[in-house]
Chains A and B, each alone.
Chain A
Amino acid sequence: MVNEVIVSDDWTRNWQASIAVKITALVMWVIIVAVFIVATWLLRDMESRLQADFEAGADRIAYQVASLVEAGAAGETADLTARMAELQQGSGFSAIGLSLGQQDFLVGDADGQDVIERHLPTALAPGQDIDLEVFHPNLDELVAQRRNQLVIGIFATLLVFGLFLTWSIRTIVHRPLQQLVSATRAVSEGRREVRLDISREDEFGYLSRFFNQMLDRLMAQQRELEQAAEEARSVSRAKSAFLANMSHELRTPLNAIIGYSEMLEEEAGDIGARELTPDLHKINSAGRHLLSLINDVLDLSKIEAGKIEINPVMFQLRDLVSDVVDNIQPMMLRNNNHLQVEVPDPPGRMFSDETKLRQVLMNLLSNAAKFTEDGKVRLQLSRRRERGEDWVQFVVEDTGIGIAPEKLGRLFQEFSQVDSSSTRKYGGTGLGLAISRRFCEKLGGRIEVDSEPGSGSRFTIHLPADFGQLLPEPASRTTVPATRDRVGDTAGPGNAGKALIVDDNASSRDLISRTLQAEGIEVIEARDGREAIALLESQRPHLICTDLILPNMNGFDFIKWLRANPLTTELPLVVVSAMDINPADRRELELQRARIVPKGVNLRQQLVSLLQELVNGETAAG
């Protein structure tokens, strides 16, 4: 399987970085240095050989001229000149000069030429010696001329050679390397189906072969991991379901224990059996303690399973505070504590998950009540603006036993009640603060603690006043023309609405579609984001169920498109995914107002309850 992915082939953009250019430059430098050395040597050699040639030529000329002079001593001067001219023309010298006794002869052009002199004794007569001058072109000029030719030749050859070298390196090394780079990049982007061409027999061929093998291994391992993860998920789902059922099953008999013991306590009082009252009261409070343990464990298991859902509602802070104070007052009185409440007037409203916030406040206040005796507990509510956002701050301060500095760090961790003796003395699971922290984080805020042993603790909760601020405002909401039909408008009477299912897996598409159809919902289907977008041109569903891993356009991109599009920005959206969604993605999906339903055994049930919730949300809102 050859699946070539080409990265930009534009090597000119960063040409210095190209391997071909680097190797070429290196090779060229070596060659240029070598050629320079060789050329210098050659020119030196040439110079000395020319010098030797001229010397030998001069000797030859001298011999011939001597013969001429001896043979033609009786001859005419004109004849000697002509013979010398012949000699000169055949010799390659520029000129030949001769001085014979009182007579001087010169043939050729001696102007600006170098000269070699020869003194020849003759047999003619004493004093009749010959002085010969042979003129030849200047050696340095000759060498310079040659050198220029050589340099031009070398550069032309090097240029051609360099281009050839670059081209061959690009073909032999660069191309396969680039394919490898592209393939690696593709893999790093998650496309593991990429495979390299393995037809080459060189090192790149081997590399490609092993690269492919590595990917095969990786894919196999990934499949195994996915299977293992799926098994783990189903185990975890089973665990969650078990816990939920279990807690319900535990609560029912516990309710009876709490109720009957309370009743017996009253009856014992009525019939005058007062000595039974303390024991009955112990049964009752032990039952209540067990109930709070079960509730905490259930909350924590929900948090750990990522099943905590935030249901923000608009509520009056005054109502929340007075409700919490009413509920906590009996506990305050038990330890003879005074509860002081400071609330601005008016405290205003808040859009958040009231139930969770109430639970956090109850937790902090009951801790304060529990760990303080004959003291003061202060609940303070204030509002402030931070970075243009409206925040609500609750402070719960007590004058109780406080917390040692070294214990503060792990205070918000699970099962971390300061020490086991305090569990015995004060009760509780040590889960309350862990749950409170998680809830505050879920609500977009934080919880802080400040304490000094012996003088008390101070817990501060910061929460955004508008949980909706965390959700991105649909940018183009105001630009939707009022007359235009919005996707997601309430279904007409007698029609439970229409849903669009986007999933590439036919069987899960089928399962979802049958579930929805059973609820009387009309179903349209698409296999990926692009198909879905095409469908949305003509169809106006009231709900979209989408998978996350899709061909062509994945679920995240599709959801972004949906939310960016004014027609679908408010549309109820359900993500049905087999994948374990990591916290960052989960957050992103929450920001896009997508509800998450894991694919699995109780998909059907979860979808139905979600639908009911959506329908009820609509009726409640309308």
Chain B
Amino acid sequence: MARLLLVEDNEMNRDMLSRRLTRRGHEVLTAVSGHTGVALAGTEQPELILMDLSLPDLDGWEATRVLKGEDRTAHIPIVVLTAHAMAEDRERAFAAGCDDYDTKPVDFARLMEKIERLLQPA
């Protein structure tokens, strides 16, 4: 269905989410750090990025800012995922330029809805 990039450093979360997305028919690319995520987004041109906030090296906010600042990746919708349910985190994520936001543990149905909404051609 769609080509998604999942940037997540926690192995189990990455595995789980990627498998569930794959089962829904999506092609899932994964990255374990902010830098690799940004690099992969540039080369692979996914249709949507799922971004964890607490990442080694480049954190999720910074990675989002970089992706939204580059011509090649600025158009790709980004959904930020975080374990912190703090309002500030959300505001910071939106300030960094993300398109949507969800908290972990992921409510898969809700996340799928968000992904589908963002993937629909405008």
Residues of A with Cβ closer than 8 Å to B? 248, 251-256, 258-260, 262-263, 266-267, 270, 291, 311, 313, 353-355, 613, 616, 619-620
Q: Is the CB of B104 closer than 8 A to any CB of chain A?
A: yes
A501 CB → nearest B CB, Å: 25
One of B10-18, B30-38, B42-50, B114-122 contacting the partner: B10-18
Q: Which residues of B contact A255 (CB under 8 A)?
A: 12-13, 83, 104-105
How far is it, in angstroms, between the C-alpha of A267 and the C-alpha of B22 when the chains are bound?
12
Q: A251, A262, A263, A313: which contacts B87 (Cβ < 8 A)?
A: A313
Contact at A311–B87, with CB atoms within 8 Å? yes
How far is it, in angstroms, between the C-alpha of A48 and the C-alpha of B32 when the chains are bound?
128
Contact at B88–A266, with CB atoms within 8 Å? no
Contact at B88–A256, with CB atoms within 8 Å? no
How far is it, in angstroms, between the C-alpha of A311 and the C-alpha of B95 when the chains are bound?
17
Q: A248, A263, A267, A616: which contacts B83 (Cβ < 8 A)?
A: A248
Q: A258, A267, A619, A620: which contacts B105 (Cβ < 8 A)?
A: A258
* Contact A259 to B87, CB < 8 A, known contacts A252-B10, A254-B105: no
Q: Which residues of A contact B70 (CB under 8 A)?
A: none
* Contact A620 to B95, CB < 8 A, known contacts A255-B13, A256-B16: yes
Residues of B with Cβ closer than 8 Å to A? 10, 12-13, 16-17, 19-20, 23, 83, 85-88, 91-92, 95, 104-106, 108
* Contact A355 to B85, CB < 8 A, known contacts A263-B16, A263-B19, A266-B20: yes
How far is it, in angstroms, between the C-alpha of A423 and the C-alpha of B80 when the chains are bound?
36
Contact at A259–B13, with CB atoms within 8 Å? yes
Q: Which residues of A contact B95 (CB under 8 A)?
A: 616, 619-620
B60 CB → nearest A CB, Å: 15
* Contact A251 to B83, CB < 8 A, known contacts A266-B20, A291-B105, A311-B88: yes
Q: Which residues of A contact B19 (CB under 8 A)?
A: 263
Given A262-B20, A291-B105, A355-B86, 14 additional A-B pairs, CB 8 A: A252-B12, A252-B83, A254-B105, A259-B16, A259-B108, A260-B12, A263-B16, A263-B19, A263-B23, A354-B87, A355-B85, A613-B88, A616-B88, A616-B92
The residue of chain A having its C-beta at the shortest distance from the C-beta of B13 within the complex is A255
* Contact A620 to B91, CB < 8 A, known contacts A259-B105, A267-B23, A355-B85: yes
Q: Which residues of A contact B106 (CB under 8 A)?
A: 259
Contact at A263–B20, with CB atoms within 8 Å? yes
Which of B23, B88, B105 has the largest count of A CB atoms less than 10 A from its CB? B105
Q: Which residues of B contact A291 (CB under 8 A)?
A: 105
Q: Which residues of B contact A263 (CB under 8 A)?
A: 16, 19-20, 23
